[in-house]
Structure 1
Amino acid sequence: MSKRRVIFCDFDGTITVNDNIVAIMKHFQPEGWDKLVDQVINKEITIREGVGRMFALLPTSRKEEVIDFAIRNVTIRAGFAELLDYCKREGITFLVTSGGIDFFVYPVLSAFPIPSDNIYCNASDFSGSHFRILWPHACDEHCHNDCGMCKTTIIRAYPADEYERILIGDSVTDFEGAKLVDTVYARAHLIDLCKELGLNYKPFENFYDVIQHIEELNVR
């Protein structure tokens, strides 16, 4: 029996053209944010620590302003709606696995027919003086990277003996997941990692590229 296909798709810099967390920080310029970004990229601090500390720099008095900017600033990468249509036709499970935050991930994706149960991201709490990020999808006992939103934990819920696992991503939050899957569609930093580790990857610019390559897999 052939394996079922499942796609784990990143949000920031993948579904969206820009990285929304970085865009928020660049726009509002809380003191010290840029050093935290560099520390995350260079793996000097964990993703969870870096993202949590970045948003803790923003006062909740600016909540509506930040949310409005985050949603307005988004540009969806070409071919995303078509990829969702393709997955529906082909019976491919499509999951959004995002290191982003619920206050912009859910509103942006509400324009697309993705069940909320298929969207994994971090959560937010505005009850205090500053933004607080919550981590409903933390690492399981097999991951010790303090991911925040642990993509490998979600991937492991779809066993390799039952699923052909495909990851689409671009950056540091996708590194560990890329090591587990059958095929990676990569952009930006993720291409370098895939090259370094000899992973099975294809570079992509838009989601039409992804559809085309999956179609090529079908005829092999």
Structure 2
Amino acid sequence: MTIQIFCDFDGTITESDNIVAIMKEFGPPETEEIKNKVLSQEISIREGVSRMFGLLPSSLKEEIVRFLTNKAAIRPGFKEFVQFTKQQDIEFYIVSGGMDFFVYPLLDGLVAEDNVYCNATDFSDFYIHVDWIHPCDEHCENACGLCKPSLLRKLGRKDCLKIVIGDSITDLQAAKAADKVFARDFLMTKCEELGIPYTPFTTFFDVQDELKKLLEVKS
């Protein structure tokens, strides 16, 4: 059995959501209202995140990176989990609604950049501009920003078991398209509301243990 894993970054690999942390530390008060509208699905992820980053001066780039380097904590078991996927020949992709200027540094030495899909950022103007380089395909009309279900369709193979690991609204559409879901926090709540089967997790040791059981059953 071939397994493909599509794993979120903010709030999943890291213990907290980095975009939320950035906005709390550097954003003006209106970013809170925009964030709430995204979570309530009043506005799209693409619109909300574009608006939030569009309120931050580009001059903050290095300060934001230093802030996250000091603050962001990798969830326990992640390094071991990555090694486990390699040992088991499991295809492992990061599909992140985060931004390249902080996702790549935080994953440096853990996951190869070729396996990381995230948004691009432009600092050439006064305010930060987000380039949505992984948009929705013709099957999605949710204005996801980085469209996780579109990436599942692009990277996924018919003969593979597709697993989604995530924590937030940005992972919901991918969870609907997955064969198995590991969820925590807001994604867990949405899965319960919509009747999407899921396995809860706290650390990546939990995910690894469940995958070991799955591999034993399938072998």
| Range of TM-score over shorter length | over 0.9
Q: Is 1:170 aligned with 2:167?
A: yes
Q: Does residue 62 of structure 1 match 2:60? A: yes
**TM-score by structure 2 length?**
0.96
Indicate the residue corresponding to 2:18 in structure 1.
20
Shift of 1:60: 1.5
1:56-205 to structure 2, matched below 5 A, reads 56-112=54-110, 114-159=111-156, 161-205=158-202
Kept in 1: contact 2:27–2:52 (CA 8 A): no
CA distance in 2, matches of 1:212, 1:162: 23
Q: Deviations over 1:135-167 (max 9, x none)?
A: 110110000000110000111124463110000
- 1:44 match: secondary structure: coil
Shift of 1:67: 2.1
Asked whether the equivalents of residues 182 and 200 of structure 1 are also in contact (C-alpha less than 8 Å), the reply is: no
How well do the aligned residues superpose, as a CA RMSD in angstroms? 1.1
Gaps (5+ residues) in structure 2?
none
Normalising by structure 1, we get a TM-score of 0.95
Structure-1 separation of matches of 2:142 and 2:100? 22
Q: CA deviation at 1:65?
A: 1.3
Aligned residues: 217
- Distance, in Å, in 2 between the alignment partners of 1:60 and 1:25 is 14
| Stretches (4+) displaced over 3 A | none
CA distance in 2, matches of 1:20, 1:161: 33
